[in-house]
Structure 1
């Protein structure tokens, strides 16, 4: 097989088109959106600024003042969401697109702290 400039040119074009098509198919599959609301289990009040992230991923979001979150460009139809908020137990929630906009409830985490004794001396002035 003799390599002419025309064959090299068409081979390069074919390789470039193949790579472009493969990269586009991966991008096109990441079009899912995960939405939901994070609430207190006892009071049913929204938890503002709770952290929501997808397990084994760098994708995530923080809830707004009403506890709502949105994560765009998700590649999978089913994900595990790790939800955390200070003073509450971290929860892992299985989410799929068949149940859009779930309400996820976090239980308060009651941690008993040891007692602290504060001693001070009064400074005497002469």
Structure 2
């Protein structure tokens, strides 16, 4: 994606046929920093009743190709899509307020599922 357009919040047009529409995705600026085995990631997936084997991690360079409805959790510096949005995982682990915001989103997801 063009960094100039990204800085303005404009996403490039992608034909639907090029979009990834399978699986659940966790987005990260640097996918090496995120692991499905991380305790916080495991706890969030457990609370959402999602099996980690159903999830994949993608870095920002392929995030634009993933259909927004398939993004479970966006952990990029500037999250743009996903059912959950938070700070990047290393920052989230150190931020009490970030964790509170994430748990609030999880609670809202659970409330919507019960309706």
TM-score bracket, shorter-length normalisation: under 0.3
- Higher-Rg structure is 1
Structure-1-length-normalised TM-score: 0.25
Higher strand share: 1
Structure-2-length-normalised TM-score: 0.26
